Structure 1
Amino acid sequence: MQVIDFMGWRKLALAVSAVLLLVSVASFFGRQLAWGLDFTGGTLVEVHFAESANLAAVRGTLEQGGFPGATVVAFGTDRDVLIRLPQGHSQLAGETVLSVLRDAADGGVELRRTEFVGPQVGDELREQGGLAMLLALGLITLYIAFRFQLKFAVSAVIALVHDIVITIGFFSLTGLEFDLTVLAAVLAVIGYSLNDTIVVYDRIRENFRKLRGLTPAEVINRSITETLGRTLVTSLTTVLVLISLAIFGGDMIFGFAVALLVGITVGTYSSIYMASNILLMLGVTKEDLMLPVREGADQDGLAP
């Protein structure tokens, strides 16, 4: 088996990750996120047209009807339209929107549903979402420290934070809406990336214990090479599904698919480079992974 020298590129990979992290953090604090209705509060109105809806015309009609800043997107078919209204409108805004659209379209518009999210609820969801991510990272740290060793836990959590920050930074840079479905995708990215990292860590631990005369970098290179096929096949099949969801899944699932697509791509890269790279920087050695010797084991072995 030809062992690929992944760690030979670790300095370049670290530089690339540092640039991506700096850009993501700068964008987050400079541009912020395009928070969705779930976090900002507002009104969501779904309407059905008897004929194909012209989104630009619907947007203009709402603007003239006293609903500036409304977001209008297709929802499933070209006759179903989803309208998001910012804060400042009452829970009866759905009926008013329906009246405005019916007047412009001479009827033929049906109200499917109206949802109202108050600003307090949006703030609570934002806070709870952040706490959910922090709790997940804390529990992951405890799990990996218990299963492997503290150095593995620290490097895995740093790699996960790397994936989360870059994924959120992508949404900040592109201006895509960040709602609860995207938050769910970010939490899913944590699980997916962690699974990849655990597979690599298992092989690193196994090779540290059985291989002799190799440096830590050589052991890590061999371990990543041995698991590379599994990592790439899993990631590529998942990416193909997500591309299909992003293209054909409609606007409601678009953000979820894009977040997973970005997160899994970055997570695959971090499982190969970041997690193992940081592990090497922390000075992992064979002694860190040696099994504890049971007291009296030598005497037992010499007993007649």
Structure 2
Amino acid sequence: MFKFVGKFKIWFSISLVVIIIGMFMLFTKGLNFGIDFKGGTIVQIAMNQEFNKPDVDEIIKKYTKEFQTNKAFSEGKIELEIKSNSLDNNGIDKVFKDIKAKYKKAELKSQEVMGASVGNELKKKAFTSSILAIIAMLIYIGFRFEFRFGLAAVIALLHDILVTISVYAIFQVPVNSPFIAAILTILGYSINDTIVVFDRIRENQRKLRGKKVSEIADKSINETMTRSINTVITTLITIVSVNIFVPSVREFSQPLIIGIACGCYSSIFIASPLWVIFKNRSKRARA
């Protein structure tokens, strides 16, 4: 039986190094916020025919380097959505003219300017919803299990969010509104993985009375690790496939890949050792 809890300093150190580097980059360079947060122009073009997205991207690159495109379907028609914070009306006209020359059926459907205030409001709502979700999880787990379980689970959730944000800050990956949806999804997935381990710990507490808390945790982790790894691998295979073959959802799938992998790591190497630490401190305080 592998002793996970006894090596908790190694696991904690790995996470701390990533988070410290990420937070340094966050405070020095900040996140690379996209148009959803910084504001800019959104152009919708009804293509009315199949088109090659990389070819369209090459056309747009002639007029701006800061943009993102999405292929969508509306009322059975194929549409192209262009977001950019550096395209003016003259640039949009040139882009559409070049696209029209290549795709004769293309029609300019709409163009609108989105202010940065919309992005600021989105950030506030994302922060509020994340805090409310974490508080609700803490209350539920504290009621369903015990407060120490809830506290360890919440710290593990914060770990997953911080690692994901750190990766984005270090590599300056663009952050748009799908990132927020991904973070909330990560919260739900990660807590599910952690609860599986905690439920086994609770069962083993009754079966292994008299054993050390660390031994109970190690046994529980070893018993559930295969299930956790198999679950995360099958999930990641699906998400990685979507990320590769469906480029339009990469802004959502990329943070999911990072967060789900972190969720598996934290449920094994962070949450359970934290519970052992809290449990031992409680025993010493009572003694």
TM-score, normalised to structure 2's length?
Answer: 0.85
Given the alignment of the two structures, is residue 246 of structure 1 paired with residue 240 of structure 2, yes or no? no
Contact preservation (8 Å) 1:58, 1:72: no
2:210, 2:126 → 1: CA distance? Answer: 47
Deviations 1:79-117 (A, max 9, x none): 97542221796xxx4xx5553235446743432454542
The corresponding residue for 1:159 is 156
Contact preservation (8 Å) 1:34, 1:178: yes
Deviations 1:179-233 (A, max 9, x none): 1211111111111110011111111111112213321111001111111121111
- Name the aligned partner's letter for residue 277 of structure 1: P
Q: What are the equivalent positions in structure 2 for 1:225-240 lying under 5 Å apart?
A: 225-240=222-237
- Name the aligned partner's letter for residue 39 of structure 1: F
Structure 1 residue 237: Cα displacement? 0.6
- Runs of at least 5 residues in structure 2 that lack an aligned partner in the other structure: none
2:18, 2:91 → 1: CA distance? Answer: 42
Structure 1 residue 5: Cα displacement? 1.6
The corresponding residue for 1:147 is 144
- Name the aligned partner's letter for residue 209 of structure 1: R
- Name the aligned partner's letter for residue 159 of structure 1: A
Contact preservation (8 Å) 1:217, 1:280: yes
Given the alignment of the two structures, is residue 101 of structure 1 paired with residue 99 of structure 2, yes or no? no
SS of the residue aligned with 1:5?
coil
The structure 2 residue matched to 1:56, chosen from 58, 69, 88, is 58
Change (3 A) 1:123 1:244: same
The corresponding residue for 2:197 is 200
2:92, 2:86 → 1: CA distance? Answer: 18
Q: What are the equivalent positions in structure 2 for 1:1-304 lying under 5 Å apart?
A: 3-47=1-45, 48=47, 53=55, 55-60=57-62, 62-63=63-64, 70-73=66-69, 75=71, 82-86=81-85, 93=89, 97-104=91-98, 107=101, 108=104, 109-250=106-247, 252-284=248-280
1:199, 1:213 → 2: CA distance? Answer: 23
2:116, 2:56 → 1: CA distance? Answer: 30
2:14, 2:198 → 1: CA distance? Answer: 23
SS of the residue aligned with 2:211?
coil
Deviations 1:127-182 (A, max 9, x none): 11111111111111111111111111111111100000111111122222211211
Contact preservation (8 Å) 2:41, 2:87: no
2:32, 2:100 → 1: CA distance? Answer: 34
Contact preservation (8 Å) 1:209, 1:286: no
Change (3 A) 1:18 1:103: closer
Contact preservation (8 Å) 1:189, 1:267: yes
Contact preservation (8 Å) 1:87, 1:119: no
Highest Rg: 1 or 2?
Answer: 1
Change (3 A) 1:102 1:114: closer
Structure 1 residue 283: Cα displacement? 2.8
Change (3 A) 1:266 1:72: closer
- Name the aligned partner's letter for residue 29 of structure 2: R
1:281, 1:12 → 2: CA distance? Answer: 15
1:37, 1:247 → 2: CA distance? Answer: 23
2:60, 2:80 → 1: CA distance? Answer: 9
SS of the residue aligned with 2:42?
strand
- Runs of at least 5 residues in structure 1 that lack an aligned partner in the other structure: 64-68, 288-304
1:258, 1:219 → 2: CA distance? Answer: 35
- Name the aligned partner's letter for residue 257 of structure 1: S
2:119, 2:68 → 1: CA distance? Answer: 20
The corresponding residue for 1:295 is none
2:100, 2:146 → 1: CA distance? Answer: 69
